[in-house]
Structure 1
Amino acid sequence: MTINRTLERAALATPAAMSSRLRGLSDRAIAWLFIGPTMLILLVINIFPLIWTIKLSFTNYRANRPNANVTDVGIDNYVAVLTDPDIWLAMQNTAHFLFWTILLQMLIGFTLAYLIDRKFRGHGFWTTMILIPMMLSPAVVGNFWAFLYQPQVGLFNYSAALLSGVSASSFSMLGSVTLAPWAIVIVDTWMWTPYVMLICLAGLRSIPDYIYEAAEVDRASKWRQFWSITLPMVMPFIMLAVLFRGIENFKMFDMVNLLTSGGPGSATELASITLKREAFEKWRTGYSSAFAIILFVAVFGMANMYVKALNYVKNR
């Protein structure tokens, strides 16, 4: 009997038997069987820090004094964040950065995608060349452009000084309160426009050729085809690119930190830079936790509304 049971178990453990048992499950059950463990790990990794941050946001905890007496302060941290003029200045700088980077990246990215979609001679080579900035790490890009912005030897700074008619030694993109915000906009646009171009190019390539052929039969001009066919059918892809770049740029930190560290003064002090200062320079952990939760709720809420608008445009 023991031998028979051993043989039965061995038979059940064979690949054929396991395949037979899997065939007895529904597609949904098999999907959960494969992705369930991964989702559980991701939830643990993401949910625990979020819950811990929410807990700290209601206390006066300071990470540099972990053994100090920690007391609950209610919503005082949230009130302090929402009434802090420095926070609102950082949010204003972030809004300026978001608006101009997204606008420039959409315009330039779509234009490049439209040109490359024409499939001119050598378009593969130029596509690869355009994608190079996106392949670099933000640390490399930050250091590269910091060199280009150098007042004495920086090529970009020297060229801008010549165009403006001032001495190169007295001209500084990163040292000017007026020009520094535009300096980081230029760098981010240079780096991430290829990403937007790829998304727009995917949208252009997804448009069936027979639609343009029908439009040509109806004698529609190229301009009419662009406004009536190309732009409406690519619009969901453009909106998707806006969503991705908006979320990424809202939490932009590394490149700006390398270029300006929020300076000069507070000209490029984005929300992420302010959060870092409060958490790891001033060590106001409870206060910075409240600020982080407010940023999370703001981004999540705006992204949720935007996704609903995206679904509306796609299903219209």
Structure 2
Amino acid sequence: MSTKLDSVALATARATPRPLARRIRGLSDRTIAWLFVGPTIVLLMAINIFPLIWTIRLSFTNYAANKPNAEVKWVGLRNYTRILTDADTWANMQTTAHFLIWTLTFQVILGFALAWLINRKFKGNDLITTLIVLPMMLSPAVVGNFWTFLYQPQIGLINYAVEFVTGIPASSFSMLGPGGWAKWSIVIVDTWMWTPFVMLICLAGLRSIPDYIYEAAEIDRASKWRQFWTITLPMALPFLMLAVLFRGIENFKMFDMVTLLTGGGPGDETLLTSIELKREAFEKWRTGYSSAYAIILFVTVFGLASIYVKALNKVKER
């Protein structure tokens, strides 16, 4: 009798939907999806949109973060005008462009070459791939300190290697000193660290090319060189351009590694826009001015990235 009553109670409970379940069943899949995704979107907007709006507001004032009780004056476009007419700003932009162009050039060439070599199966392929990828797994702070020791004039291995090759005494030469070498020193380090990243993206592109296309090309007696220019490069180009986009955005805002290597010196030789922005904001405490600087950099990166993405989409549609 007890078992029969329990079965009846269980059947009644199943037949009677709970209020919450009944309400959920009345919602569409789209509404349920928004219930889960909505809070995340609101949080991301609060984290990203609010600081951007606040920065834009500050850029039109003379606000200084170290003087919170001082009177804040509205200065209009004066901060933007001073930045865009300052010769030092354009010099920093030129230094940043030098760093950006050369790092991307070397990383694209070396990364694609390594991907092409690793894509060809050989003994020890996995081990070599792991060793190549190791630099990008390190922290930029660790990489900066590591290469600072390598560049030291007295004990650095780089100077002794230069002395061995060129005959220039190691004590009279410094990669981090004046004379144009400091710019190339940060290009070398960034290339060493992030070429593996470009290699992995290019490798994904190469391995996405179907084998039957190469088989058809061999049937048509196409040479390896022709296969590379007509099959490999065009089909891997979207991946290569994607790697350039990622590295370009990251290198434009490069800060930590360059700060540890050169600190923007000697003089202003390696003073990137990101380092100058930090100095204006947290050393000179010109918060309004630095906010305008940040907005100009944001618009520059966003505009260039938008143009580049349109070009990337056109390449993908071919």
Determine if the TM-score, normalized by the shorter chain, exceeds 0.5.
yes
Alignment of 1:242-261 (within 5 A): 242-261=244-263
Match of 1:268 in 2: 270
Residue 156 of structure 1: CA displacement? Answer: 1.5
C-alpha distance in 2 between matches for 1:264 and 1:206 = 46
What is the CA deviation profile of residues 40-68 of structure 1, one whole-angstrom value per residue up to 9, with x for unaligned ones? Answer: 11110111111111011000111111111
Percent identity at matched positions?
70
Match of 1:191 in 2: 193
Q: CA RMSD in A?
A: 2.1
What is the CA deviation profile of residues 165-203 of structure 1, one whole-angstrom value per residue up to 9, with x for unaligned ones? Answer: 211111100012310000000000000000000000000
Match of 1:34 in 2: 36
Q: Which runs of 5+ in 1 are unaligned?
A: 1-6
Q: What one-letter code is carried by the residue in structure 2 that aligns with 1:155?
A: L
Residue 100 of structure 1 aligns to a residue whose secondary structure is: helix
Say if 1:177 and 1:264, in contact at 8 Å, map to a contact too.
no
C-alpha distance in 1 between matches for 2:68 and 2:233 = 56
Say if 1:58 and 1:73, in contact at 8 Å, map to a contact too.
yes
Picking from 20, 25, 30, the partner of 1:21 is: 25
Picking from 171, 175, 182, the partner of 2:173 is: 171
Runs of 4+ in 1 over 6 A off after TM superposition: 7-10
Confirm whether residue 12 of structure 1 aligns to residue 14 of structure 2: no
Match of 1:60 in 2: 62
Say if 1:109 and 1:197, in contact at 8 Å, map to a contact too.
yes
C-alpha distance in 2 between matches for 1:137 and 1:152 = 25
Picking from 78, 96, 99, the partner of 2:98 is: 96
Residue 12 of structure 1: CA displacement? Answer: 2.5
Say if 1:101 and 1:188, in contact at 8 Å, map to a contact too.
yes
What is the CA deviation profile of residues 3-52 of structure 1, one whole-angstrom value per residue up to 9, with x for unaligned ones? Answer: xxxx69984368xx489728x623x4444333222121111011111111
Say if 1:57 and 1:289, in contact at 8 Å, map to a contact too.
yes
**Cα gap change, 1:258 to 1:13, in 2 (>3 Å):** farther
Q: What one-letter code is carried by the residue in structure 1 that aligns with 2:112?
A: F
Equivalences, count: 308
C-alpha distance in 2 between matches for 1:20 and 1:59 = 50
Match of 1:108 in 2: 110
Match of 2:204 in 1: 202
C-alpha distance in 2 between matches for 1:94 and 1:286 = 23
Q: What one-letter code is carried by the residue in structure 2 that aligns with 1:25?
A: S
Residue 302 of structure 1: CA displacement? Answer: 0.6
C-alpha distance in 2 between matches for 1:73 and 1:306 = 34
Which range moved further: 33-42 or 57-66?
A: 33-42
Residue 138 of structure 1: CA displacement? Answer: 0.3
**Cα gap change, 1:135 to 1:18, in 2 (>3 Å):** farther
Say if 1:173 and 1:183, in contact at 8 Å, map to a contact too.
yes
Q: Which runs of 5+ in 2 are unaligned?
A: 1-12
C-alpha distance in 2 between matches for 1:165 and 1:44 = 59
Q: What one-letter code is carried by the residue in structure 2 that aligns with 1:12?
A: R
C-alpha distance in 2 between matches for 1:81 and 1:47 = 24
Match of 2:144 in 1: 142
